[in-house]
């Protein structure tokens, strides 16, 4: 049985954020992830001379210290992309997301509301919200605006906005993940890829260690959960009581990557599309994020189609070739961005059947239950993140909890026992 101060489950942005913070504080850390490369959803794929991300991935940097942290990891490869997300209104591409469009007159600071409809209507007026914001949000989330939680709307408005542009790694979001993994390894983290966690031992409600694929056991007093909470809860022994692992409906996304033999299709980074006739809700042109991502004279556009992973779904149910053709046609009509859809070549159609839980108020208790139960186990620290930097920061908070809030770096003394203050068992 190996020993560590902490095991981190997942090497996406949350897990890497946690690992980096833990090793920099002197802890012995093992990170496990079944994927062959670090990054979780934040990986950059390479094909036909292009490099492209699993969907556009804007890192929402909110303050100067986070920017300095990014510069430290990426150096000159951190670019400022001075182009905000755009959207299509009345047949034209206009600046700003649907959520950035504003009615005439002052904005009201309405009271917080449980529903996205109530939240937005109190700020911008119900008629404006229904006409301008509703179609896009419902197209992405697949439920009525009245069923989307109000805090999702608040997060999109405030935390996940990039009104003037954004910082981005020159070689794609995966470059940031690679840099985080390299920095964590340099500081001593043991990052095991192609290695899933298979069991979390928590006798008496207190974490004792983790079993990894291949049979390796790691004894550790602290575990950071930076993988989906429901999947982690299934690994715990003894397991959760009945009712904690109820069914949860998931949203799927199919991403169609189309290559064109021309230098650019648009000037935009990302275009939101609310038109129900168009299979995709967002189109991102990678060369406008960084010229290093596309070869000279060619361009690639990624088309994010949000749907249900069900053969009866009109988008998911199409075969890859048919979906790519439908996307290319829509770029021509109704969007008017492409004269010759037949000239678009599908580089890849990537399907993520379980991208995120459907944002439906009715299933919030079921989504939260595994996380609440895991959080009640001593030595378990959750790192939930709905966005890249948010996930990194959740990982850092989980690391701080594992290290013991307000304590000095533990160095060789081991990691303190998190929320309970119990000593680490090195």
CB of 106 to ligand FAD, least distance (A): 30
Q: Which is nearer to ligand FAD, 389 or 416 (CB)?
A: 389
- Using alpha carbons, select from 281, 387, 287, 293 the residue that is nearest to residue 59: 387
CB of 9 to ligand FAD, least distance (A): 4
Q: Determine the Cα–Cα distance for residues 107 and 119; give it in Å rounded to an integer.
A: 12
Q: Which is nearer to ligand FAD, 55 or 418 (CB)?
A: 55
CB of 371 to ligand FAD, least distance (A): 12
Q: Which is nearer to ligand FAD, 56 or 424 (CB)?
A: 56
Burial of 75 (0-12, 13-18, 19+ CB in 10 A): exposed
Strand ranges of the sheet holding 197-201, from the earlier edge strand across to the other edge: 2-3, 217-219, 209-212, 197-201, 236-237
CA–CA distances in Å: residue 226 to residues 9, 65, 121, 176, 347: 5, 23, 35, 17, 31
CB of 197 to ligand FAD, least distance (A): 4
Helices vs strands, H then E, count in the chain: 11, 21
CB of 70 to ligand FAD, least distance (A): 13
CB of 57 to ligand FAD, least distance (A): 5
Q: What angle do CA 308, 311, 313 make, to 5 degrees?
A: 45
Q: Which is nearer to ligand FAD, 128 or 166 (CB)?
A: 166
DSSP H or E stretch at residue 153: helix 150-154
CB of 297 to ligand FAD, least distance (A): 27
Q: Determine the Cα–Cα distance for residues 263 and 90; give it in Å rounded to an integer.
A: 27
Place of tokens 């997301």: 97
CA–CA distances in Å: residue 39 to residues 10, 173, 227, 269: 9, 9, 12, 22
Q: Which is nearer to ligand FAD, 256 or 335 (CB)?
A: 256
CB of 421 to ligand FAD, least distance (A): 27
Close Cβ partners of 159 (under 8 Å, ≥ 6 residues apart): 60, 62, 387, 390
Burial of 296 (0-12, 13-18, 19+ CB in 10 A): exposed
Assigned token pair, 392: 């990194």
Q: Please give the residue ranges that form the binding site for ligand FAD (CB under 6 A).
A: 9-15, 32-35, 40-42, 55-58, 60, 196-197, 226-227, 231, 253, 304, 352, 355, 385-388, 391
Q: Which is nearer to ligand FAD, 34 or 353 (CB)?
A: 34
Q: Which is nearer to ligand FAD, 224 or 416 (CB)?
A: 224
Q: Which is nearer to ligand FAD, 15 or 209 (CB)?
A: 15
CB of 212 to ligand FAD, least distance (A): 8
Q: Which is nearer to ligand FAD, 143 or 232 (CB)?
A: 232
SS3 assignment, position 224: strand
Q: Determine the Cα–Cα distance for residues 382 and 17; give it in Å rounded to an integer.
A: 12
Q: Determine the Cα–Cα distance for residues 169 and 128; give it in Å rounded to an integer.
A: 36
């Amino acid at each position: 049985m190996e020993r560590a101060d902490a095991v981190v489950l997942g090497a996406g942005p949350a897990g890497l954020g946690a690992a980096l913070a833990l090793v920099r504080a002197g802890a012995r850390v093992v990170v496990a992830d079944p994927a062959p490369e670090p990054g979780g959803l934040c990986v950059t794929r390479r094909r036909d001379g292009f490099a492209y991300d699993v969907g556009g991935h804007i890192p929402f940097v909110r303050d100067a210290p986070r920017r300095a942290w990014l510069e430290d990891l990426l150096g000159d490869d951190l670019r400022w992309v001075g182009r905000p997300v755009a959207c299509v209104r009345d047949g034209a591409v206009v600046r700003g997301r649907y959520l950035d469009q504003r009615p005439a007159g002052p904005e009201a600071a309405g009271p917080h509301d449980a529903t996205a409809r109530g939240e937005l209507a109190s700020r911008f007026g119900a008629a404006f919200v229904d006409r301008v914001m509703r179609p896009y949000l419902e197209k992405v989330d697949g439920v009525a605006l009245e069923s989307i939680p109000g805090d999702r709307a608040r997060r999109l408005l405030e935390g996940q906005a990039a009104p003037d542009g954004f910082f981005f790694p020159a070689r794609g979001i995966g470059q940031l993940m690679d840099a985080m993994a390299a920095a964590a390894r340099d500081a001593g983290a043991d990052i095991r890829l192609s290695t899933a966690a298979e069991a979390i031992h928590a006798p008496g409600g207190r974490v004792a260690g983790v079993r990894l694929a291949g049979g390796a056991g790691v004894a550790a007093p602290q575990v950071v959960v930076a993988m989906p909470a429901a999947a982690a809860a299934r690994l715990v022994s003894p397991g959760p009581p009945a009712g904690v692992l109820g069914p949860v409906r998931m949203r799927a996304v199919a991403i169609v990557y189309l290559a064109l033999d021309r230098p650019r299709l648009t000037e935009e980074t990302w275009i939101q599309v609310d038109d129900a006739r168009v299979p995709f809700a967002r189109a991102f042109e990678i060369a406008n994020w960084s010229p290093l991502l596309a070869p000279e004279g060619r361009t690639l556009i990624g088309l994010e189609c949000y749907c249900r992973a069900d053969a009866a779904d009109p988008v998911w149910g199409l075969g890859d070739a048919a979906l790519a053709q439908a996307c290319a046609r829509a770029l021509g009509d109704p969007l008017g961005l492409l004269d010759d859809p037949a000239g678009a070549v599908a580089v890849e159609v990537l399907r993520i059947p379980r991208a995120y839980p459907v944002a439906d108020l009715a299933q919030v208790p079921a989504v939260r239950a595994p996380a609440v139960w895991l959080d009640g186990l001593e030595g378990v620290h959750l790192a939930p993140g709905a966005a890249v930097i948010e996930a990194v920061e959740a990982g850092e908070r989980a690391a701080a909890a594992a290290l013991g809030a307000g304590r000095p770096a533990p160095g060789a003394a081991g990691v303190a026992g998190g929320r309970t203050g119990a000593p680490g068992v090195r």
